[in-house]
Structure 1
Amino acid sequence: MPDIQKPRPGQPIVFRNGIVLTMNDSHTVIPDGDVLVIDGKIAQVGRDLPAPEGAFEIDAKGGILLPGMIDTHRHMWQTAMRAYGSDWTLTQYFVWYYLEHGMKFRPEDIEAGNLVSALDAVESGVTTSVDWSHGLRTVDHAEAALEALASSPGRFVFAYGNLAGAPWEWTQDAAVRRVIERARDDSRLFGAQLAFDVPGEEGFPELAAFQAARELGVKVTTHAGVWGATNDTGIRLMYENGVMDPGNVYVHAATLSDESYQMIAATGGTVSLSTESEQTCGQGYPPAHALRKHGIQASLSVDTSVWFSADMFASMRSTIGADRSFEHMLAHQKGDTVTHASLRVEDVVDWATRGGAKALGKWDEVGSLEAGKLADIVLIKNDDSPTMTPIINPYGHVVYQSGRGDVHTVLVGGEAVKFNGKLVAGDLPSVRTKLENTVEYLRSEMGEETWHSGMNPEIPEVEILTNPYQYLKDTTPHAH
């Protein structure tokens, strides 16, 4: 079959007659709307827009246009082991990566994970991802991670971390700082962060790491409110030491007190919800209800596809499902019935787009379809799918009906990275080869028995209670 013509680099593009979810401050929805892209930016949004001669026209009728989605916390290097830990608990994850096998990853394995995760993201309509890169045991690992991001289609914030070292030590390393400065200033990337956790040790040794972030001009992203790992003490120490800067991102934030949420809200922090992770791992109940209660800006994230789905559709769906379940459960405990849902589909679409932009301090550049912003655009349209018709409630359709297979076109800065349902950027065959090498290497390093036991942890015994209410009486003849 001949290749379907796609937009040329730099060519103006106009989407015609789609349902446009602008995600602007008013959440304006434009039925049968157009979006015009010129020179990598959104030139106009409206109806019946005039387009320059030679513009590439994309028929968006029967589809939904929305801003590129934004993932504020993804351990991209772990995508090399996609789905390996599907039956893990958080403890098993810690043991496998932190204590046993995380140190086996070579720089080229970090690179392979980042490369496939980058393609995975843009293919699903995630145009900006935060690489929470906590596998950087050496500067060579960091160089490999950074270059993989810089050479991949999409926008990436490089969050430098090292789970094998103390943050107050590695943030003082001149070589590490040079990598962070390069990531911060590299025009191919979308910025840098420091990624480390605060377990709550009195004396607050992490102060030096927070000071390093200020010296480097970057924000901190930290796993907060994780049951058994980080808690209110860590938040208190951060607050008392004056390092809860505006723009810091608190990931999970699932087992915190009202006072801790108030500290986050009062200091201009945001929370990255990884609902599939919080549900599966036990960091705490996904805290969307607490964020609404305290007026904290939320964004959504994947966490790690060593366990979970790798797209915002799953993140939106799990987030709204968890929040509604919680609301019903609390009501039922009091003998009440929920008659009106508090969290709406429109809210989680907001968190997946503009929420991420606000969390990263990039709201003036991305997160909505408005003139002057970067042309990071997603068209959800699938004429071959009965699920894509009729579209009555477009927010509900994005959250509950659509999936990555319905993503027709993805633009990043006006350039098509996915078109007509196919990834058209990057070099997937080359990435596959790198991944095969990584998997073969790690499998040989662990040995077959360890490889299989790591993927298939023991199942705890379950006591099955005797049921006095039998559906069928015993009619088996008994010998006398």
Structure 2
Amino acid sequence: MTQETPDLPRDGQPIVFRNGTVLTMNGTRDVLHRGDVLVSGDTIQAVGTALDVPEGTFEIDATDGIVIPGMVDTHRHMWQTAMRGYGADWTLTQYFVWYYLEHGKHFRPQDVAAGNALSAIDAIDAGVTTTVDWSHGLRTIEHAEAALDALRSSTGRFVFAPGNIFGAPWEWASDPDFTKFIRDNDTGSEMLRFQLAFDVTGDPSFPEKGAFEVARDLGLPVTTHAGVWGATNDDGIRLMYENGFMNTDTVYVHAATLNDDSYQRIAATGGSVSLSTESEQSCGQGYPPSWVLRSHAVPMSLSVDTSVWFSSDLFTAMRATLGADRAWEHIKAHEKGDTVTHSHLRAEHVVEWSTLGGAKALGLDTLVGSLEPGKRADIVLVKNDKSPTMFPITNPYGHIALQAGRGDVHTVLVNGVIAKFQNQLLGTEISRAKADVEDTVGYLRSTLGEDVWESNMNPEIPETKVLDNPYMYTEYRSSATHGGDAPRDAESAVS
């Protein structure tokens, strides 16, 4: 039995959320009880209580719910969503073996598109209205075009970050066909922005300099996996700094195994870190670093990373981040015979990192990330009258961070358009996405063979250089991750 399509506003009809707990995430973190948010077109017109609204305004009852800005995911490998859950037991090395060394090259353009389309729907369902597509499986321009077309056909606000793990960044980034692709498609749209996605190995010859120069010439920010055990290290950060490529719009993903000099360089140059806490605590990039980033006042945002392993919602990311940060603080205090009496990381902090923090990292905070008049209407109502999880609401930040989940997302607006309502997705995209993903999975299983498909859910590690360096386009090696602890000051965050 199918659900009936709910009544929806007419085109151009104003919308008001009534009587909800409103977490504005503005500069003073105002919380409105029995608050209203009025939307006209693509813009928030007013935020307050008992608002006067135009006659005929479409009313959404937010009673017993929490209204928040649309969440912002600053790092998601959307193309891998077509293999949701496949790598549940992987380590990071096994991930590298599967995607970088052996099988990632089998993905066709349509397979990348299928993953992107499913991931886009997944994000909206969980209240994520802006997503960075860290699209590093683009072996050809045809792959890039397919990935981008899937985003353009989906509901959501996106930052497209193309990359190619199979080739040298300084080569693919400077390819005339690639730069033409960027120039033709980077139109400055509010709904679609661009970054450049590649990693820096720490090779003293700094071959990645060429990719940074391309990004600068194209006017694109760079997003990079930094401080990943066995892959990227402090030398990469130092080379970026010495060559003038650490900027306020640079996003460092993970940043989990760096020393204090590297964190100070990130802080001094105004960059930010995207935490993928589920990933960091499971895969081995390093212990989730929110505790040390706090000590250096480095801005943070949250991200999913990839649902080939993990959950694909920022509710889980908030929960995991609070747990990891607090666990570390308690452990370090206990080692010294001390007791933590007050948590330094609070629920309101991770809610901010999931909303305004992400918007700031992407340079979109003048558009989204908070509920303020004049900003675009990316709005989420968390409300579920059929679930005991949604009452009582005594601490709204704590409720969002530790109680609610994607099933409690009642309404999602993106740029003023309703994409989810009364706890159900709108539109028919999910049927097509399911068919396309089934085709991708069938193709991969037949291409790899059933024995390989089954065994590679926990693959053996071949005798290759992946244990030192997963990047097959360079012969550079480093022993920085051999025979010692992560090189950072573990005491600074608990003093």
CA distance in 1, matches of 2:194, 2:142: 17
CA distance, structure 1, for counterparts of residue 202 and residue 411 of structure 2: 45
Instruction: Say whether 1:283 aligns with 2:291.
Output: no
After TM superposition, give the deviation of residue 426 of structure 1 in Å: 5.3
- Partner amino acid for 1:351? W
Residues 161 and 458 of structure 1, relative CA distance in 2, 3 Å threshold = closer
What is the one-letter code of the residue matched to 2:422?
A: N
Query: C-alpha deviations, 1:320-377, integer Å up to 9, x for none?
Result: 0000000000011111111110000000000000000000011100000000000000
Q: What secondary structure, in the 3-state scheme, does the structure 1 residue paired with 2:186 have?
A: helix
**Match status 1:89 vs 2:91:** yes
Residue number in structure 1 paired with 2:388: 386
TM-score, normalisation: structure 2: 0.91
Task: Quote the offset at 1:176 in angstroms.
Answer: 0.8
Aligned pair 1:14/2:30, yes or no? no
Match of 1:108 among 80, 100, 110: 110
Q: Which residue of 2 aligns with 1:53?
A: 55
Contact 1:302–1:309 (CA<8 Å) still a contact in 2?
yes
- Of residues 306, 328, 341, the one that matches 1:304 is 306
Counterpart in the other structure of 1:470: none
- What residue number does 2:234 align with? 232
Aligned AA (1:245): N
Contact 2:133 2:158 in 1 (8 A): yes
| Secondary structure of the corresponding residue to residue 195 of structure 2 | strand
Which residue does the alignment assign to 1:467?
A: none
Choose the corresponding residue for 1:40, options 39, 42, 46.
42
1:69 aligns with: 71
Provide the aligned length of Structure 1 versus Structure 2.
Answer: 459
Task: Report if the CA contact (8 A) 1:153-1:426 is conserved.
Answer: no
Write the letter of the residue equivalent to 2:453.
W
Q: Give 1:233 deviation, angstroms.
A: 0.5
Encode CA deviations 1:222-260: one digit per residue, 9 max, x unaligned: 000000100101000111111112210000000011110
Counterparts of 2:34 and 2:184 in 1: how far apart (Å)? 43
Residue in 2 that maps onto 1:256: 258
In structure 1, the residue matched to 2:403 is 401
Secondary structure of the structure 2 residue equivalent to 1:23: coil
SS state of the match for residue 146, structure 1? Answer: helix
- The amino acid of 1:377's aligned partner reads I
Distance 2:427 2:120 in 1: 11
CA contact (8 A) 1:300 1:356 kept: yes
1-structure distance, mates of 2:153, 2:100: 28
Q: Is the counterpart of residue 434 in structure 1 residue 446 in structure 2? A: no
Partner of residue 484, structure 2: none
Contact 1:183–1:191 (CA<8 Å) still a contact in 2? no
Alignment of 1:318 with 2:320, yes or no, is yes
8 Å Cα contact 2:94-2:458 kept in structure 1: no
- Contact 1:150 1:188 (8 Å CA) reproduced: no
Give the counterpart letter for 1:167 in structure 2.
Answer: P
Query: What is the CA–CA distance in structure 2 between the aligned matches of 1:24 and 1:422, rounded to whole Å?
Result: 28
* Residues 69-99 of structure 1 deviation map (CA, whole Å, 9 limit, x = unaligned): 0000000000000000000000000000001
CA gap of 1:2–1:162, structure 2 versus 1, over 3 A, is closer
Which residue number in structure 2 is paired with residue 478 of structure 1?
none
Larger radius of gyration: 1
Instruction: State how far apart, in whole Å, the 2-side matches of 1:352 and 1:13 are.
Output: 24
CA-to-partner distance for each residue in 1:116-154, whole Å, 9 max, x for gaps? 000000110000000000000000000000000011000
Q: 1:188 to 1:339 in 2, by over 3 A?
A: closer
Report the counterpart of residue 353 of structure 1 in structure 2. Answer: 355
Paired with 1:290 and 1:183, the residues of 2 have a C-alpha distance of: 38
Aligned-partner Cα distance in 2 for 1:400–1:184: 38
CA distance in 2, matches of 1:426, 1:367: 28
TM-superposed deviation, 1:188: 7.1
Residue 172 of structure 2: aligned partner = 170
Change (3 A) 1:426 1:370: farther
Q: Are the aligned partners of 1:274 and 1:303 in contact in 2 as well (CA < 8 Å)?
A: yes
**CA distance, structure 2, for counterparts of residue 192 and residue 425 of structure 1:** 26
The 8 Å contact of residues 149 and 189 in structure 1, kept in 2 or not, is answered as no
Aligned equivalent of 1:411: 413
Write out per-residue CA displacement over residues 390-421 of structure 1, whole angstroms, 9 at most, x where no aligned residue: 00000000011100000000000110000000
Which of 129, 151, 154 is the equivalent residue of 2:153? 151
2:343 matches 1:341: yes
Q: Secondary structure of 2:384's match?
A: coil
| Aligned pair partner of 1:218 in 197, 217, 220 | 220
What's the CA shift for 1:456?
3.6
Offset at residue 181 of structure 1 (A): 2.4
- C-alpha spacing 1:55/1:406, structure 2 compared with 1 (3 Å): same
Contact 1:10 1:414 in 2 (8 A): no
1: CA distance between counterparts of 2:215 and 2:28? 34
Following superposition, the deviation at residue 455 of structure 1 comes to: 1.3
Alpha carbons of 1:152 and 1:107: their partners in 2 closer, same or farther (altered >3 Å)? same
Q: Which amino acid aligns with 1:398?
A: I
Separation in 1 of the partners of 2:10 and 2:178? Answer: 38
Q: Which residue of the partner structure matches residue 423 of structure 1?
A: 425
Q: Report the RMSD for the aligned CA atoms in angstroms.
A: 1.2
Question: How far apart in 1 are the matches of 2:44 and 2:90?
Answer: 43
Partner of 1:371: 373
Secondary structure of the structure 1 residue equivalent to 2:456: helix
Work out the CA distance in 2 between the residues paired with 1:36 and 1:174: 46
- Post-superposition offset of 1:186: 5.9
Instruction: State the match for 1:462 in structure 2.
Output: none
1:136 corresponding residue in structure 2: 138
Q: TM-score, length-normalised on structure 1? A: 0.94
Aligned position for 1:471: none
Q: Which runs of 5+ in 2 are unaligned?
A: 462-495
Residues 158 and 183 of structure 1 are in contact (CA less than 8 Å); yes or no, is this contact kept in structure 2? no
Q: CA deviation at 1:427?
A: 1.1
2:129–2:157 CA contact under 8 A, matched in 1? yes
Gaps of 5+ in 1: 460-480
The one-letter code sitting in structure 1 at the alignment partner of 2:171 is E
1:54 Cα deviation after fit: 1.7
Partner residue in 1 for 2:120: 118
CA distance in 2, matches of 1:96, 1:130: 23
In structure 2, what is the equivalent of residue 269 of structure 1?
A: 271
CA contact (8 A) 2:198 2:224 kept: yes
The Cα shift of 1:189 comes to 3.7
Alignment check: 8 A CA contact 1:416 1:425 kept = no
